[in-house]
Amino acid sequence: MRRRPAVALVLALSMATVACGTDDNTPRTSGGRPSSGNFAGAGDQATLSGAGATFPATIVQEWIKQYKAVAPGVTLNYQPVGSGAGIQQLTSRTVDFAGSDVALKPSEQAATGGAGNVVQIPWTAGGLAVEYNLPEVKALRLSPNALAGIFAGRISRWDDPAVRADNPGARLPAKGIQVVHRSDGSGTTQVFTEYLKAASPGIWGFPIGKDWPAGTAGTGAKGSDGVTAAVKQSTGAIGYAEVSFPRQAGLGVATVRNKAGQYVAPTAPGMSAALGSAIRKPDGTLVPDYTPEGASAYPISTTSYLMFYASGADDTKTAALEHFAAWALTEGQRLAEALDYAPLPQSIAGPALAAVTP
């Protein structure tokens, strides 16, 4: 990737921001937006189109809105069409950048021209919420085995003994469970199936991947917004989506039992606690730990990736994307918790910044 001298200023500003981390290694900014006078990307002129994962859509749309004040000459568009569709559009070069909840597979890297031809960095993190529609149950608790049993089709009623065991004293209705899953190729689905496989291997015997496996329970809906809408429309339904979707829809969000035996909600501190034990691969991508040790760790936590071409693209657009990425990894992180995401720990944000700066 050809570097431009202006990017060095982004590095200086960004690393200074990351250095102001909290005690839990979470990056923290001063709280104010950088003015156009001190930000390296302020003079960029570019129109950038992106597509991909629905998981980061809420925070990305807010970033785009706020970034306009920082770099008024940059127009950003992002379509939340799912990780699979976003990667397809990236490999066909019909978009300038893509979002995906999982890193590129070797076959996808080959389609981009080979490993290293595409920058792929974590730019946000969060948790997958288990959303449900049971008005009479205000606090639902689920163990990994109960979750796997429900989504595998082994548990079909809310008053099943396995669900009752997680919820002693709760009045669980004697009604059927309606499972809703993604119908499109989705990184969210891959993360969720990876969790089920890791946390309950004896019950989840199905494949993991972006496509929901055949032979399981439920009906499909497109996008996280589609899953959430379907769950909201059907009493007794359950699904999975990034936390902001059920929060905005007013749905119940289950607490999930972690390895320490605690039932934990998908809050920013719980997500950050889980992210601390993610494994970094040599290429800089991360392998989530779905069975983290900490008592406060929310187990279905993951990062989401920004992807764009490192070479063979328009240099002006590449520079604008680098500047936007650096802003998102620093100033943008302060928006995370209010939008139901988790700020990236410094151990993740620092290397990501290095990938988009000299």
**Mean pLDDT confidence for 161-166:** 98
Task: Judge whether residue 121 has pLDDT over 80.
Answer: yes
At CA 287, angle to CA 286 and CA 288, rounded to 5?
Answer: 110
Task: Judge whether residue 25 has pLDDT over 50.
Answer: no
pLDDT one-digit tens code per residue, 189-229:
999 999 999 999 999 999 999 999 988 989 999 999 999 99
| Percent of the chain surpassing pLDDT 90 | 79
* Side-chain-side CA neighbours of residue 35 (13 Å): 2
DSSP letters of 239-282? EEEETHHHHHHT-EE-EEE-TTS-EE---HHHHHHHHTTPEEPT
CB-count exposure of residue 208 (10 Å: 0-12, 13-18, 19+):
middle
What CA–CA distance (Å, rounded) separates 225 from 237? 15
pLDDT one-digit tens code per residue, 329-356:
999 999 999 999 999 999 899 999 999 9
With beta carbons less than 8 A apart as the criterion, state whether 52 and 80 touch. yes
**Mean pLDDT confidence for 42-52:** 96
- Burial string for 308-339 (b: 16+ CB within 10 Å, else e) reads bbbeebeeebbbbbbbbbbbbbbbbbbbbbeb
pTM here?
0.86
Q: How many CB atoms lie within 10 A of CB 219?
A: 14
pLDDT, position 2: 44
With beta carbons less than 8 A apart as the criterion, state whether 44 and 323 touch. yes
CB-count exposure of residue 44 (10 Å: 0-12, 13-18, 19+):
buried
What CA–CA distance (Å, rounded) separates 133 from 170? 15
Task: Judge whether residue 23 has pLDDT over 60.
Answer: no
Which residue type occupies 155?
I
What CA–CA distance (Å, rounded) separates 12 from 187? 33
What CA–CA distance (Å, rounded) separates 124 from 104? 17
User: Nearest CA to 276 among 23, 19, 18, 25?
Assistant: 25
pLDDT, position 115: 74
Task: Name the residue with higher pLDDT: 357 or 188.
Answer: 188
Measuring CA to CA, how many Å separate 302 from each of 63, 107, 127, 216, 276?
Answer: 19, 22, 6, 24, 10
